[in-house]
Structure 1
Amino acid sequence: MTFTAAALGGLMAWRAGVFQWDLWLATVFGLMFAHATNNLLNDYTDSRRGIDKENYYRNQYGVHVLEDGLMDEPQFWRYVGVTAGIALALGGWLVYQRSGLTFDLMLAGAFFVLFYTWPLKYYGLGEPAVLLVWGPLMVGGSFYVLAGFWSWDVTWLSLVFALGPTTVLFGKHTDKLDADKAKGVNTLPVILGEKISRYAVLAMMVAQYLLCIGLVVTGSFAWPLLLVLASLNSMPRLFSLYSEPKPEEPPQNYPEGIWPLWFSAQAFRHTRRFTSLFLVGVILDTLIA
C-alpha cells in the first residue's frame, strides 16, 4: 500500500518530466520504513495499554509481535531503532536535497507515525488520518519531493487512491466496534454508530467513482481513468451486504482465516479490484499524454 502510494507520486513526476531515480528510491524506502515503525509502535502502544491482551479482536486475524512472543522488549526497541533510523536518515537526505516543503512533510509524517495509535485512533481521528496520509501526504508528498512544487491535480488523484485503504480501515473498525467500545477505543465508527458507519463506507466507495469522473470532466486526466467504472458491477452486492448488520457467524463457505473480519473483507475485495483498474487507467493516461 505504501509502495503503491509512492509509485503513484513517482509516476506523476515522470508524467511531468521531473522524475529522478535517486530521490524516488529514497522516498519509497523512507516511507516503507516509516510505515514499519508505525506498525511496531501500534503493537507496542495497544499492548502496553492492555488493548491487545488475551483474545482481543486484533489477535484473531493477525500476528502481534509482542503478544505472540515473537520478540522481547529489548529486541523490539532495537528493531524500532533500525526502522526509524533508516526512515529518518533517508528523510534527512531528502530534506538536504530538496528543501522547501520537504521538511514540513517529514514532520507531518513523523507526527502520524508517533501519534496515530494514541491519541488519534482513540478519539475518532484515525480514519481521517489514514485518508490524509495515504493521499496528499504520501502521493502528493512523493510528487513534491521529485518535482519541487505542489500539484493540486495530483492531490485530487491521491484522494481516489487513499479512499481505498480508508474504506478497509473503516470497515475493520466497524467490524470490531463493540470490542473497541468495551476497551474505550473511540474510533470513528464507535462515535458514529454501526449503521451510519456501514453507509459511510459505501459513501466513500461511491466518492472514488465520482472523483474519477470529475477528474476526467475537468480535463485533469483523460478517458483511461474511467476504466474504474468496470468495477461498478460489484456495487449492488456491496450495497446489499452493507445494508445489514454483520452476521453473528461466518456464512457457509466463507473463506477460512478471514473471519471475524466481514465489512473490511468486503471493502478490501472492492479496493483490490478498483485500485488495479485505477492504476492501469493512470498508466495508460500517462503513456497517452
Structure 2
Amino acid sequence: MKTNSLSAWILAVRPYSLGNSVILVLVGSALAWSDGAFHLLPALLCLLFALLMQCTANLVNDLWDYLKGADQPDRLGPDRAFAKGYITLGAMKGGIAAFTLAACAAGCALLAWALRHDVLRYGGWELVAVGLLCVVFAYFYTAGPWPLAYHGLGDVAVILFFGLIPVGFTYYLQTGTWNWEVTLAALACGLVIDTMLMINNFRDRDEDARCRKRTVVVLLGAAFGRWGYLLLGVAAAALCLTLAFAGRYGAALLPLLYLTLHVATWRKMVRIDHGDALNVCLGETARNIMLFGALLTVGILIG
C-alpha cells in the first residue's frame, strides 16, 4: 500500500466501525420523530459530528496504541495503518488535527442551529461542554499520561460516548427535552456497541497483558470476557423490553431478534477462544450491532 494514500487513510479510520455512529443518530432521531419533533438538519449535523469524532478517536487510537507498544505489525486484529507504516507520523498528527477541527466545525453549526431555534435550556453552554468533553475523551481514551483504555475504563467510555451522549443529545437537540425512555434506549445502544470492544479485548488479552494495557479482560480474566460479551447483549435487549411500559411495544420486542445472532456469535467466540480466528466474531459483532440499531429504530417508528 502506498504511504499516506487514500487507501491508507480509509484503513486508518476503520470504516467497518463507523456504522456505530450511524445507528446512534438514527435511534435518537427516531425517538424525536415519534415525539413529533424531528428536524432533518440537526440530525444530519449530529451524524456528521459523530462520524468525525469517531474517525478522530480511531486515528488517535491507531497512533498511540502503537507508540505505547499495544499494536505491533504482527497484531492479531485487523491491520493498523500506522503500525504497518502506511501513514507517516507527521501525516497522522495532521490527520488527527484535521478531523478534530472538522468535528468542531460541525459542532459549531449544531450550536448555531440550536440557538437560532431556541431549543437549548441552558443557553448553549451544555452543548459546548459536551462537545469539548467528546474531543477530550477522543484523545484521552488511548493518549495522555493516564489513558482510559489502559486502566480498565474503556468500557465505561464506550457506554457513555457511544450510547448516552450521542443518542441523548441527538434527541435533545431536536426536542429540547430528555426523558427516561431516551436514557434507556441510549444505554441499550451503549451496551451493544461495547460488545465490539469486549471481543477486541478478549482476542488481544495476552498482547495487552504483555504491554500493560489493563483492560477489564486483562484485569478480571478471560472468563469475564466470555460471559461479559454475552451479558452485554442480553442486558441491552432487557433494557429495550422496559420501553413497553411507555407503550413502545415495537421498540421493546423487535430488538429481541438481535439476541439470536448475538448468542450464535458468542458460542463461536467461546469455541474459538483465542487467536486471529476471533476476527470472524469481530465482523459478526459489527453486523449484529447494525441489526440491533435497525431493529430498535424501526421499533420506535412503528410504536
* Shared fold, TM over 0.5: yes
Deviation of residue 228 (structure 1)?
A: 2.4
- Cα 1:231/1:66, change in 2 over 3 Å: closer
Change (3 A) 1:20 1:77: same
Q: Please say if 1:69 is aligned against 2:99.
A: no
1:165 aligns with 2:177: no
2:132 is equivalent to residue 107 of structure 1: yes
Q: What 5-or-longer segments of structure 1 have no aligned partner?
A: 250-257
- Are the structure 2 counterparts of residues 215 and 138 from structure 1 closer, same or farther at C-alpha, using a change threshold of 3 Å? same
Residue equivalent to 1:255: none
Cα distance in 2 for residues equivalent to 1:146 and 1:260: 40
Asked if the contact 1:170–1:264 (Cα under 8 Å) also holds between the matched residues in 2, the reply is no
Q: Is contact 1:163–1:204 with CA below 8 Å preserved after alignment? A: yes
- Secondary structure of 2:36's counterpart equals coil
RMSD: 2.4
Secondary structure at the residue paired with 2:141?
A: helix
Aligned-partner SS, 1:184: coil
Instruction: State the match for 1:230 in structure 2.
Output: 257
Q: Identify the residue that residue 302 of structure 2 maps to in structure 1.
A: 284
Q: TM-score with structure 2 length normalisation? A: 0.80
CA contact (8 A) 1:174 1:263 kept: no
Residues 75 and 231 of structure 1: CA distance in aligned 2, closer, same or farther (over 3 Å): closer
The Cα of 1:247 is off from its aligned counterpart by 4.1
1:137 is displaced (CA, Å) by: 0.6
Render the CA deviation track for 1:171-209: whole Å, top value 9, x for unaligned: 220111111111110011111111122111111121122
Sequence identity percentage? 25
1:59-83 C-alpha deviation (Å, 9 max, x unpaired): xx23x22222222222222222221
Q: Is the 8 A contact 1:36 1:83 kept in 2?
A: yes
2:213 paired residue number: 185
Distance 1:154 1:168 in 2: 22
Query: C-alpha separation between the residues in 2 aligned to 1:248 and 1:161?
Result: 27
Which residue in 1 is equivalent to 2:48? 29
Per-residue CA deviation, residues 212-262 of structure 1 (Å, 9 max, x unaligned), is 21111x2252245302233444566456556x464467xxxxxxxx72426
Q: Which amino acid aligns with 2:50?
A: L
Q: Which runs of 4+ in 1 moved over 6 A?
A: none
Return the match for 2:163 from 135, 148, 151: 135
Rounded to whole Å, the distance in 2 between the matches of 1:192 and 1:92 is 41
> In the alignment, residue 31 of structure 2 is paired with which amino acid?
M
- Partners of 1:248 and 1:7 lie apart in 2 by 34
Alignment of 1:1-289 (within 5 A): 1-58=20-77, 61-62=78-79, 64-98=80-114, 99-118=124-143, 119-216=147-244, 218-219=245-246, 221-223=248-250, 225-234=252-261, 237=264, 240-241=267-268, 244=270, 246-247=272-273, 259-261=277-279, 264-265=282-283, 267-285=285-303
Paired with 1:40 and 1:54, the residues of 2 have a C-alpha distance of: 16
1:102 Cα offset (Å): 1.1
Would the alpha carbon gap of residues 235 and 147 (structure 1) be closer, same or farther in structure 2, given more than 3 Å must change?
closer
- More moved, 42-51 vs 183-192: 42-51
* Alpha-carbon separation, structure 2, partners of 1:34 and 1:209: 27
- Letter matched to residue 21 of structure 2: T
Q: What does the per-residue CA deviation read over 1:138-196, in whole Å, with 9 as the maximum and x for residues that have no partner?
A: 11011112222223211111122222211121122011111111111001111111112
**Structure 2 unmatched runs, 5+:** 1-19, 115-123
3-state DSSP class of the match of 1:19? coil
Q: Deviations over 1:28-83 (max 9, x none)?
A: 1112111111111111111222322331234xx23x22222222222222222221
Question: What is the identity, as a one-letter code, of the residue corresponding to 1:204?
Answer: L
